[in-house]
Structure 1
Amino acid sequence: MTSTFVRSNPGLLPASRSAVAKAWPAAAAIVLTIFLWWLATTVLSPEYSLLRQTAPQRVLPAIVDLYQRGVLVSDAALSLWRLVIGLAIAMVIGVPMGLLIGLNTRIERAATPVVQFLRMISPLSWTPIAIALFGIGNQPVYFLVAAAAVWPILLNTVSGVHAIDRGFLDVARSFHATRAEQLRVVIIPAVRDHVRTGLRLGLGTAWIVLVPAEMLGVRSGLGYQILNARDQLAYNQVVAIILVIGVLGSAVDFVASRLPGRTFNNRADG
């Protein structure tokens, strides 16, 4: 009966084979990585080395323990919340500034040296100033995350404005569209994909900055938990939190890559 079903649905088997063919390289790479991790920390490391604490058979129970204690979920949620707030601040600053710079040649010439200078400064180097301005707490973390994410968003917005087909703007002007109408109907839809790309790039940088930023005065978050586990010499928990940071970062990047975005050309075709 199974063979009859397969013969009557010939598209099912190739599709399943295609899914397996796409999935197995990634699955094999993950298994190989875990094996090399186990080999380095269990077989090759000295008997009393701290590396033995970071072996998979000790790290995975540590993840379960952190979860059962309620630490993992609450601190991961706080870290994600700080990331969202910092990204929102970066969007509020970066997108309007990018539109302004991209639409005005004189402003672009004036702003380019300043932007290039500021974006080359490590966001973490602003830490003393952020603490002096905002004190200890969430505000310095928001500042550092926004400082990390704002430049990719701004520069990609400028790039999106430059990529607009000027014919669309000429058509809008021929219909006597105001500047606000051009911005709403032509420019913003056209730069949407570029803004999404900038957000994704900024998100990666912001996530990297977030963890050390949480080691600078807050008493919650994944970065703080790394310091807390280190002070207790619980290196299995340190690696457990590092794994969680990697998984969450990959998940956030995946969500960002699936954000809706349509270019003006696609909108016009529709």
Structure 2
Amino acid sequence: MSRGIRRAVDRVVWPVVGLALAVALWSLGARQLSDVEAIRSAFAPTAGFAALGRLLAEGALWEHILLSLQRIGISLLLALLIAVPLGVWVGLSPLFAKLTGTLFQFLRMVSPLSWMPLAVMALGVGEAPVVFLLTFAAVWPILLNTAAGVAALDRSWLQLAHSLSATRSEVVRHIVLPGIVTHVLTGFRLALGIAWIVLVPAEMLGVSAGMGYFILDTRDRLAYDELMAGIVVIGCLGFALDVAARAVTARWVGKNRG
């Protein structure tokens, strides 16, 4: 078998086989779910994919998809604005790292969902608590990877900058930030995955649209075929976002190596 054929098999054939096996297990699981034929049929792959096609054709899902992506985008932007400066500060200041290291590790291990009641009490019901929870979830991977990137910098460059009387802001702008982009992108990808997982339960906080709201609504309406369609959409969107983040990281790394 030639290298090109082997690569095509690895990239296309085996993933397709894996997905086919997953659908087969889905069908088998739906049959074991209940003794009621109507429920088994509603959870079956055929019903889920039929509902997905119908919802996309009618446009019923697009509002939920766009709002969820908008919330993720806003939250990740806020997380970057918070985490990158803090991570640089942790990496450059041993004193600040000692003061905040234990605190940051403690907060990182607190589930973002445990902040739900406080977020609603402080920010009310609506967009604000959802964005807060997603931002809280996304901050830590970016912050810790940024700090690790600063720690991994070649110290001779920093010493050279200081010997040339560069100011602290000039060192950060011209040496630190360009040198940690790969670490920041890695943290961003991890943050994206965590925020996407938190998104669905966070969108059950009284908002009127979004994929989390859609899942809750289909459950309440007993529309189990649409519920399964929603799960498929969440998985596909999350996978697509991760592929995009991986592509950006790989392109940046390849560009710098070239």
Shared fold (TM-score, shorter chain, > 0.5): yes
**C-alpha displacement of 1:52:** 3.2
Q: Secondary structure at the match of 1:258?
A: helix
Taking the TM superposition and a 5 Å limit, the aligned residue runs for 1:130-149 are 130-149=119-138
Aligned to 2:149: 160
Q: Which amino acid aligns with 1:119?
A: R
Q: Which amino acid aligns with 2:149?
A: G
Q: Which amino acid aligns with 2:181?
A: R
Aligned to 1:48: 36
Aligned to 1:231: 220
Taking the TM superposition and a 5 Å limit, the aligned residue runs for 1:2-41 are 15-16=4-5, 18-41=7-30
* Alpha-carbon separation, structure 2, partners of 1:18 and 1:227: 41
Instruction: Compare 95-104 and 31-40 and name the one that shifted more.
Output: 31-40
* Alpha-carbon separation, structure 1, partners of 2:35 and 2:112: 40
* Alpha-carbon separation, structure 1, partners of 2:144 and 2:83: 8
**C-alpha displacement of 1:216:** 1.0
Identity %: 43
* Alpha-carbon separation, structure 1, partners of 2:92 and 2:29: 55
TM-score (norm 2): 0.92
**C-alpha displacement of 1:97:** 0.6
* Alpha-carbon separation, structure 2, partners of 1:46 and 1:214: 29
Matched, 1:200 2:189: yes
Cα distance per residue 1:67-98 (max 9 Å; x no partner): 13322111101000000111111111111011
Q: Secondary structure at the match of 2:218?
A: helix
Taking the TM superposition and a 5 Å limit, the aligned residue runs for 1:66-77 are 66-77=55-66
Q: Secondary structure at the match of 2:125?
A: coil
Taking the TM superposition and a 5 Å limit, the aligned residue runs for 1:67-216 are 67-216=56-205
- 1:217 corresponds, among 194, 206, 212, to 206
**C-alpha displacement of 1:40:** 2.8
Q: 1:101·1:108 contact (CA, 8 Å) conserved in 2?
A: yes
The alignment yields a C-alpha RMSD, in angstroms, of: 1.9
**C-alpha displacement of 1:45:** 5.0
TM-score (norm 1): 0.88
Residues 114, 29 of structure 1: alpha-carbon distance in 2 compared, 3 angstrom cutoff: same
Q: Which amino acid aligns with 1:141?
A: V
Q: Secondary structure at the match of 2:142?
A: helix
**C-alpha displacement of 1:51:** 3.7
* Alpha-carbon separation, structure 2, partners of 1:171 and 1:228: 60
Residues 198, 17 of structure 1: alpha-carbon distance in 2 compared, 3 angstrom cutoff: closer
Q: Which amino acid aligns with 1:220?
A: A
Specify the structure having the higher radius of gyration (Cα): 1
Cα distance per residue 1:143-191 (max 9 Å; x no partner): 0000100011111111111010111112222332222221111100111
Structure 2 residues not aligned, in runs of 5+: none
Kindly tell me the number of residue pairs found equivalent between the two proteins: 254
Runs of 4+ in 1 over 6 A off after TM superposition: none
Q: Which amino acid aligns with 1:147?
A: F
Residues 232, 183 of structure 1: alpha-carbon distance in 2 compared, 3 angstrom cutoff: same
Q: Which amino acid aligns with 2:195?
A: A
Instruction: Compare 20-29 and 53-62 and name the one that shifted more.
Output: 20-29
* Alpha-carbon separation, structure 2, partners of 1:134 and 1:14: 57
**C-alpha displacement of 1:262:** 4.6
Instruction: Compare 175-184 and 220-229 and name the one that shifted more.
Output: 175-184
Q: 1:45·1:52 contact (CA, 8 Å) conserved in 2?
A: no
